[in-house]
Amino acid sequence: MPAKVVVGVQWGDEGKGKVIDILASRSDVVVRSQGGNNAGHTISHQGETYKLALLPSGVLYPKVDCYIGCGVVINPATLLGEIDAITARGVSCDRLRIDPRAHVVMPWHITLDGLSEDGLGKDKIGTTRRGIGPCYMDKAERVGLRMHELCDPTLLRQKIQAVGTRKNQLLSDFYGCQPLDLWEITAEFEEYGKRLRPYLSDVSDLTWQALQDGKNVLFEGAQGTLLDLDLGTYPYVTSSNPVSGGVCVGTGIGPTAINEVLGVAKAYTTRVGGGPFPTELFDEVGNTIRDVGHEYGTNTGRPRRVGWFDAVIARYGVRVNGLTGLIVNKLDTLSGISTLKVCTAYETQDGQRLTSFPAAIEQLELCRPVYAELPGFSEDISGCRTFAELPRACREYIAFLEETAGCPIVMVGVGPGREQMCVK
């Protein structure tokens, strides 16, 4: 059963979209397992750029079946907007299927997300304010609206009145806000349900059948390991599980079905939002990496925080995801920097050296990076397609990352195009 999982090893935004696009072209099925429209993939495909938030990356290939699993939370307006936009560009979504168990992002989720974030003041988590966290909260509280209910007018009206009345009470009594118009919401979401009903199908069953038939199945998620709700830098995390284990829950497929787990990292580190970031750069080198690497959010446009490659994080990602291979993106961004640094360990305030990623962010906040320095390179490597073509300094840098991360590096990205990969 040839099944691959692609996960982010850092804080997300590692360039998974390009990797998934490459692998999707060789796959029969691509399944999205978690997250919502709080993260996106930017894909350069046949000379055009596509920005996807909810649609699986395989949608660009007419023979690939694309599934959205039960672990995804869906803003129906956003999803329909993506379908309409990509259809207008000549890409068909006829092979898209959505699990009826997936939860729906409602207007009160978006409103409460913003109000909650504002209430945190200087301790803001840095959410995208798109209702993802509150939607997962309702899922855990067992009051969420699922896709099969969205597509059933009777169930939809009942659920909106029952849950919406409680949310309006919270908005008015606790936040002092105007209540939402539940009848207006009902009319709007009934239309969404009509349009999305044809896409509903049991993704767990479809995926299992594909695996039984020997088809190549690719599982993709959003965000990265350090944004995992349980294993990330809590509370500065997302509300789902972007690690490889989350794929099983978010698609309804058992772990024994998975053959290969590929992790994606940048040749440096970035993150969006608050929280500790040991290797963060505040100097001109950091500004250069941000500008050259176009480190701004796909969906939000927010500038990303930038830092040196952190091998402590990479080792953690290898361990908790069970990686069988590592893919390093954006090596070309580092061209022109005379000395490259890699964090190999952390040093605590009392002088202890940590080589494992700490569980508590309070400890992480006090850690200082221990760096190894390597010679940089100045060549344009965007045309390289094999490791042998890379300059010696690049090969040594990649070899060092491989050694310190403890995982074989199987591909290196040297540009934004899907063809700009060096395969080992």
Over residues 348-386, the pLDDT tens digits come to 988 899 999 999 999 999 999 999 999 999 999 999 999
Instruction: Write out the two tokens for 313.
Output: 């994080």
Is the dihedral angle over the CA atoms 26, 28, 34, 35 positive or is it negative? positive
Q: Which pLDDT does position 345 carry in this prediction?
A: 98
In whole angstroms, what is the distance from residue 142 CA to residue 186 CA? 20
3-state SS assignment for residue 105: coil
Does the active-site annotation cover 332? no
- What is the pTM for the complete model shown? 0.93
CB 293 within 8 A of CB 333: yes
Residues of the chain with pLDDT under 50: 1
286: which residues sit within 8 A by CB, 6+ positions away?
280, 306, 307
Q: Which pLDDT does position 200 carry in this prediction?
A: 98
Helix (H) or strand (E) holding 114: helix 107-119
CB 59 within 8 A of CB 93: yes
In whole angstroms, what is the distance from residue 366 CA to residue 348 CA? 6
pLDDT tens string 90-104:
999 999 999 999 999
Burial of 337 (0-12, 13-18, 19+ CB in 10 A): middle
Residue with tokens 């060549």, as numbered in its chain = 379
Q: How far is CA 51 from CA 41, 69, 185, 334, in A?
A: 6, 20, 27, 24
293: which residues sit within 8 A by CB, 6+ positions away?
266, 268, 270, 306, 330, 333
3-state SS assignment for residue 16: helix
Q: Which residues pair with 218 in a beta bridge?
A: 4, 30
As a whole number of Å, the CA-based R_g of the chain is 22
In whole angstroms, what is the distance from residue 207 CA to residue 65 CA? 10
3-state SS assignment for residue 254: coil
The residue annotated as part of the active site, out of 13, 28, 65, 113, is: 13
**26, amino acid identity:** R
- Longest Cα–Cα distance in the chain: 66
Cβ neighbours of 26 (radius 10 Å): 12
Q: Which pLDDT does position 247 carry in this prediction?
A: 97
In whole angstroms, what is the distance from residue 364 CA to residue 52 CA? 33
Instruction: Write out the two tokens for 103.
Output: 């939860």
179: which residues sit within 8 A by CB, 6+ positions away?
168, 169, 171, 172
**359, amino acid identity:** A
Q: Which pLDDT does position 288 carry in this prediction?
A: 96
In whole angstroms, what is the distance from residue 202 CA to residue 207 CA? 9
The residue annotated as part of the active site, out of 21, 41, 65, 148, is: 41
**241, amino acid identity:** N
Helix (H) or strand (E) holding 7: strand 3-8
In whole angstroms, what is the distance from residue 204 CA to residue 165 CA? 33
- Give how far the C-alpha of residue 406 lies from the chain's centroid of Cα atoms, to the nearest Å: 23
Q: Which residues pair with 412 in a beta bridge?
A: 328, 422
CB 33 within 8 A of CB 66: no
End-to-end CA distance of the chain: 24
In whole angstroms, what is the distance from residue 200 CA to residue 67 CA? 10
Please, how many CA atoms are within 13 Å of residue 244, restricted to the half-sphere of its CB? Answer: 27
In whole angstroms, what is the distance from residue 259 CA to residue 40 CA? 26
**193, amino acid identity:** G
Instruction: Write out the two tokens for 340.
Output: 């490259």
In whole angstroms, what is the distance from residue 70 CA to residue 51 CA? 22
Does the active-site annotation cover 294? no
Q: Which pLDDT does position 10 carry in this prediction?
A: 97
Detail the DSSP E strand segments found in 330-386. Answer: 339-347, 353-354, 368-375
45: which residues sit within 8 A by CB, 6+ positions away?
21, 60, 418
